[in-house]
Structure 1
Amino acid sequence: MSRRLRLLFTALTLAALLWLLFAAAERALALAQRFLELPTWLQWTLGGVLLVFVAAGVSVLWWLLRPRRKRRPLPVPDRGSLEQRIGQLREHGADTGALASELGELDRRRASARVYVALFGEISTGKSSLIRALAPQAHVASDARGGTTRAVGHYDGTLADGRSLVLADVPGSRESGGETHETLAREEALRAHAVIYLCAGDLNRAQADELRWLADFGKPLLLVLNKADQWSDAERDTLLERLRRHGRGVASAVLAISAGGSERYQRQLADGSTESVERQRKPSIEPLLQALARITAPGAEGLEDMRENAVLAGLHQRTSMLEARTRAEAAEQIVRKYARRAIVGALAAVAPGSDLVIQGVLATGLTRALAELYGVKVSEVQIEDFVQQAKLTLRSGSSIVLAVAGNALKAFPGLGTLGGGVLHAFAYALIFDSMGRALAASLAERHSLDQDDAGARLKELLADAGGNRLRQLAALTMDAVRERDNAS
């Protein structure tokens, strides 16, 4: 509930209480007299009920007026467990170089004992101009097109009290080709001891989400309105009030500055002509310098724990994404392996119904292999139940499977004329590919063997006639057919 709405409820509650007080004043003395005439046991009972109502009213008022809690930082993993996970990913062939480099950079900055401050925000909010104002000797490129920062730059700056700090200029969000640049910006923001979030007006939804994302890591954060000299006093006050609402419980301070920078204007000459003139606006950043001095007062050593927690929390997220991607790739290989085995089994089956026995064994192996990959403990009974449910689904949808398989084979010259054996094998390739993909997606999302969820996904995949997946299965089937023919 917003603060304004809580204040409205509070005002209505107080008004109602006052009205009741005045309405009851006339009868207060009479009620008190009658209360004293009651038996002692009844006086105690009514007194207790009255106390309960008073306590409830106080509780409601406290709920309405209580201060908003600060956002809790994301949970931080233990570094040892994180390094162990990275090592396991490396053993499975995943590229963990960036994760290991991040840990190395964490140690390097801790050893340097320097305070790092990152400038974060959308393009064209004046980050480069602010770098010039904070570090006058820095050489920062900028142009009118916006989005000129393509990589992270570090510059030495000095606070008003003479202490030095390292300013990190990161790429602006919403930049062209911005996903890579945004990743660079976010990673650098996590490495910094403190963050300046720069804006040039009220925050849109994407900016508000960025601000909350930064706040989730629990480090000092300043929300700064730049180009304040472009607004009137009333407009600036209105903007600052809106920004304070965005920053409540999120930012350490909300303030307005003017980072200066260049501007162009038309100047009238004596002969009546005009010329375009570029001039530098004088920066006005005193409030920011004071706020920076305040939040960096503990120094690098005092801020290091929060910085390390932010880096480790970010690494935890990146490691989890790499784990999910690595498992997905491994699951793809498992599914493809069992689909090929199903094709070979279907081509080799000679006795009526013998292929069902073969495919049942393969389905059990596929289920067990995927459950082991995703770390889900399943019993033999659970596996058997899932396989039986899958068989029921396949019996009821056999006509759909054969129709999809037949239409797919017709799209590949030569495959559609190879007879029912190929159609049969391709159908089993489709079945096992669908079963494996459905089960892998369910295990990844539910972290358990949810038969209903996996079954629903299986039905969708069996009816999916997507060209790319079917082409891959057709190629897999054709390879198995060629191998059989060559062997014979």
Structure 2
Amino acid sequence: MSRRLRLLFTALALAALLWLLFAAAERALALAQRFLALPEWLQWTLGSVLLVFAAAGLSVLWWLLRPRRRRRPLPVPDRSSLEQRIGQLRERGADTGALAAELGELDRRRVSARVYVALFGEISTGKSSLIRALAPHAQVASDARGGTTREVGHYDGAFPDGRTLVLADVPGSREAGGEAHETLACEEALRAHAVIYLCAGDLNRSQADELRWLADFGKPLLLVLNKADQWTAVERDKLLARLTQQSRGIASAVLAISAGGSERYQRQLADGSTESVERQRKPAIEPLLQALDRLTAPGAEGLENRRENAVLAGLHQRTGTLEARTRAEEAERIVRKYARRAIVGALAAVAPGSDLVIQGVLATGLTRALAELYGVKVSDVQIEDFVQQAKLTLRTGSSIVLAVAGNALKAFPGLGTLGGGVLHAFAYALIFDSMGRALAASLAERQSLDQDDASARLKELLADAGGTRLRQLAALTIDAVRDRVD
């Protein structure tokens, strides 16, 4: 376009803008005159409404445009209390070897005084190629499928000023069936002093979630767009702008590099045929080196507190998961024990009404045992109230219990013909198994004896005719009957 045409279009645009401004001003003056002509009470009413709408609009605008606050790291547990919890789990028979090894690795890296940097990201984003660029003499082992790293590898690298660092190449996330590898990657990221999060384009939802997860642990983080040579300058700038927006308050810096690596392309020969050629792309990682140098400038000692906090916070979560699983296993054993006692009690109940006494005693014992397991303090009155409410639920659902029990026994040849005593015993097994499972789930979630919640769960379990649980209870009933006969 010539210079005269550009000037003409500019002049036309300015004229159109001035016309719009004059039209808006004229319209505003007309509205103001009509507003002033209104009765005073109506002026106050309309003015108040307009003021409310204006305040609401400004509030929404501020909420959209306000700068994001930096995410606060997760609370860090005291190490001594964490070690005490791990010791208690070990005493209860839980496998705490991995947790103890994590504490040992924490101490080992502190003593080594070396800076650890983890490369994190989805599969095939170029992490191994970046390792080769940062540590040219490293031997990087990758799986044949998509060049995917299968385990954590450590490689010695160096900054231009001679400072050394340890690079951790971790398995890529979002690999089909690679949940165990993702766990390895996450644990190694928490052990590192800093993290380089590598991507090859715009962030998807799972990548954004991973960034927020790292930020929750307070990890010093660089968001790096790899394979930048595949984009035009305009496309690269737009990508960096979007990445900066997505990682605001999370990443210390957002930059673009090319880690190099090999690539294949088709070359046309003189005779018209083509051949596949592999060539090496030259890495361009200077912006990353500069940003990494600034990020790790405090050294291992200066970054150690944040690294230790991240490891301890991660251990706190892992310990909590193991505690929940261990409690659930112990709760399962308690419920099974009381279900067997209920079967034996039902078979032994000969006097009229004696089964109700047995039921009440066992329900009280079951409630007290599960409350103690989950560390919930309950009074005798609370236990009595819960048992009475459970009995009411059982009375109203007795027909369902017997129907489920009868149908289940039909699946076991010979057992269903042993008489009403066996049916009664199996019904008791179903009742106490359902009561125990409902109470354990409620205590685990609510951390209190919530009678309404436990009763609602009990009703659902009583009506559940799932085959696996009923087969287990039927087998338990068979064993109890055989033991009684023997």
What is the TM-score with the length of structure 2 in the denominator?
Answer: 0.88
Structure-1 residue corresponding to 2:331: 331
Deviations 1:252-286 (A, max 9, x none): 11111100000111222233332211110000111
Structure-1 residue corresponding to 2:130: 130
Structure-2 residue corresponding to 1:284: 284
Q: In structure 2, how many angstroms separate the alpha carbons of the residues matched to 1:409 and 1:80?
A: 52
Q: Where in structure 1 are there 5+ consecutive unaligned residues? A: 1-14, 28-52
Structure-2 residue corresponding to 1:376: 376
TM-aligned CA distance change 1:63 to 1:469, over 3 Å: closer
Q: In structure 2, how many angstroms separate the alpha carbons of the residues matched to 1:257 and 1:479?
A: 68
Structure-1 residue corresponding to 2:454: 454
Aligned amino acid, residue 126 of structure 1 = G
Q: In structure 1, how many angstroms separate the alpha carbons of the residues matched to 2:64 and 2:276?
A: 57
| 1:429 Cα deviation from its structure 2 partner | 0.1
Aligned amino acid, residue 309 of structure 1 = N
Aligned amino acid, residue 307 of structure 1 = R
Q: Is the 8 A contact 1:160 1:290 kept in 2?
A: no
| 1:414 Cα deviation from its structure 2 partner | 1.1
Aligned amino acid, residue 125 of structure 1 = T
Q: Is the 8 A contact 1:121 1:198 kept in 2?
A: yes
Structure-1 residue corresponding to 2:225: 225
| 1:176 Cα deviation from its structure 2 partner | 3.3
Structure-2 residue corresponding to 1:187: 187
TM-aligned CA distance change 1:214 to 1:147, over 3 Å: farther
| 1:160 Cα deviation from its structure 2 partner | 2.1
| SS at structure 1 position matched to 2:265 | strand
- 1:118-267 superposed matches below 5 A: 118-142=118-142, 145-146=145-146, 148-267=148-267
Aligned amino acid, residue 257 of structure 1 = I
Structure 2 residue 85 is matched with structure 1 residue 69: no
Deviations 1:340-375 (A, max 9, x none): 000000000011110100110000000000000000
| SS at structure 2 position matched to 1:198 | strand
Q: In structure 2, how many angstroms separate the alpha carbons of the residues matched to 1:454 and 1:143?
A: 50
Give me the CA root mean square deviation.
2.4
| 1:162 Cα deviation from its structure 2 partner | 1.7
Q: In structure 2, how many angstroms separate the alpha carbons of the residues matched to 1:145 and 1:259?
A: 20
Q: In structure 1, how many angstroms separate the alpha carbons of the residues matched to 2:116 and 2:253?
A: 18
| SS at structure 1 position matched to 2:440 | helix
| 1:219 Cα deviation from its structure 2 partner | 1.8
Q: In structure 2, how many angstroms separate the alpha carbons of the residues matched to 1:413 and 1:299?
A: 73
Aligned amino acid, residue 312 of structure 1 = L
Deviations 1:386-410 (A, max 9, x none): 0000000000000000000000000
| SS at structure 2 position matched to 1:277 | strand
Aligned amino acid, residue 369 of structure 2 = A
Structure-1 residue corresponding to 2:482: 482
Q: In structure 1, how many angstroms separate the alpha carbons of the residues matched to 2:391 and 2:315?
A: 42
Structure 2 residue 373 is matched with structure 1 residue 366: no
| 1:177 Cα deviation from its structure 2 partner | 2.4
Aligned amino acid, residue 82 of structure 1 = L
Structure-2 residue corresponding to 1:41: none
Structure 2 residue 439 is matched with structure 1 residue 416: no
Q: In structure 1, how many angstroms separate the alpha carbons of the residues matched to 2:297 and 2:393?
A: 66
Structure-1 residue corresponding to 2:103: 103
Q: In structure 2, how many angstroms separate the alpha carbons of the residues matched to 1:177 and 1:135?
A: 30
Q: In structure 1, how many angstroms separate the alpha carbons of the residues matched to 2:125 and 2:65?
A: 36
Q: In structure 2, how many angstroms separate the alpha carbons of the residues matched to 1:64 and 1:196?
A: 29
TM-aligned CA distance change 1:366 to 1:147, over 3 Å: farther
Aligned amino acid, residue 442 of structure 1 = S
Structure-2 residue corresponding to 1:94: 94
Q: Is the 8 A contact 2:142 2:150 kept in 1?
A: no
| 1:337 Cα deviation from its structure 2 partner | 0.3
Aligned amino acid, residue 156 of structure 2 = D
Q: Is the 8 A contact 1:442 1:453 kept in 2?
A: yes
Q: Is the 8 A contact 1:147 1:175 kept in 2?
A: no
Q: In structure 2, how many angstroms separate the alpha carbons of the residues matched to 1:467 and 1:213?
A: 39
| SS at structure 2 position matched to 1:248 | coil
| 1:65 Cα deviation from its structure 2 partner | 5.6
| 1:148 Cα deviation from its structure 2 partner | 2.4
Q: Is the 8 A contact 2:143 2:150 kept in 1?
A: no
Structure-1 residue corresponding to 2:388: 388
TM-aligned CA distance change 1:144 to 1:245, over 3 Å: farther
Structure-2 residue corresponding to 1:316: 316
TM-aligned CA distance change 1:242 to 1:151, over 3 Å: same
Aligned length: 446
